[in-house]
């Protein structure tokens, strides 16, 4: 039986059976964190197997996921432009960074 580590739902990619986004794990990985550190310190709700599964999925679908991440960033930047409230935009950017690291 093949384990599915990533699922698409709510217009995004998620670690299967969790509330952890794929991009959160991928950004931690791209920042140089080891899978062991990601599982133990960043997302203790995930198993090491899940973290490796997500990284493997990312590496196997890198073009698709990188395009998704670029689009998400573009959507976020467009939203910031629309709000046109610098204080709100700073708070939103901080929350987004915190979510990516958490």
pTM: 0.75
Give me the phi and psi of 8, to 5 degrees please. -100, 130
What sections of 33-85 are H helices per DSSP? 35-37, 48-60, 62-83
Return the pLDDT at 1.
57
CB neighbours (10 Å) of residue 63?
7
User: Each residue's pLDDT tens digit in the chain (102 positions)?
Assistant: 567 999 999 889 999 999 999 999 999 999 999 999 999 999 999 999 999 999 999 999 999 999 999 998 888 888 777 777 777 778 878 888 887 665
């Amino acid at each position: 039986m093949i384990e599915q580590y990533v699922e698409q739902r709510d217009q995004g990619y998620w670690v299967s059976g969790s509330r952890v986004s794929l991009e959160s794990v991928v950004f931690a990985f791209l920042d140089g964190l080891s899978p062991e550190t990601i599982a133990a310190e960043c997302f203790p709700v995930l198993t090491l197997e899940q973290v490796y599964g997500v990284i493997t999925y990312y590496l196997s679908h890198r073009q698709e996921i990188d395009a998704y991440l670029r689009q998400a960033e573009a959507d976020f930047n467009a939203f910031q432009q629309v709000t046109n409230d610098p204080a709100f935009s700073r708070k939103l950017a901080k929350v987004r960074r915190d979510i990516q690291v958490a």
